[in-house]
Amino acid sequence: MRCVKYFEGWHGRDRHPYVGYGHRLLKGERLTADMTERQADSLLRADLLSRYVLFRRFGKDALLLTVLSYNVGTGTLLGGRNRPKSRLIRKLEQGDRNILSEYLSFCRYKGRVLPGLLKRRHVEFALFYIP
């Protein structure tokens, strides 16, 4: 959680529709940017757990995929709604765990590599990839 909290930072009123440590408000949710850190921690745990459940089948890579999906979204990785599965997921499904380059490919915004995202991906991979 520390890694996600560090890179997401606190989302105050100016970051709507995100609150706490990057929770995207869902339709009907009545959360505000005035939440306490304890509430934000609890929300982050719940968000990460719900994502982990989606990636549990990837075994050793489940936590790595969970952390990545918190930033890029589960649909970006798993596909759906006219989106294909990511190369990262397809590679893992084929049993190929040589995924560093695919993992690092998620450091672009509007086609440009962002140094902060590249740093984040390197840190996440170093912390959560289990050889």
pLDDT tens-digit readout, 62-105: 999 999 999 999 999 999 889 999 999 999 999 999 999 999 99
Strands (DSSP E) contained in the chain are 18-19, 23-24, 108-109, 112-113
- Classify each residue of 53-80 as buried b or exposed e, where b means 16 or more C-beta atoms within 10 Å of its C-beta: eebeebeebbbbbbbbbbbeebebbbee
Q: What is the pLDDT of residues 14-57, one digit of tens each?
A: 888 889 999 998 898 888 888 889 999 999 999 999 999 999 99
Question: Coil, strand or helix: which one is 129?
Answer: coil
CB atoms within 10 A of CB 32: 12
The whole-model pTM stands at: 0.91
Domains, the chain, in order of start with CATH, read: 1-128 (1.10.530.40)
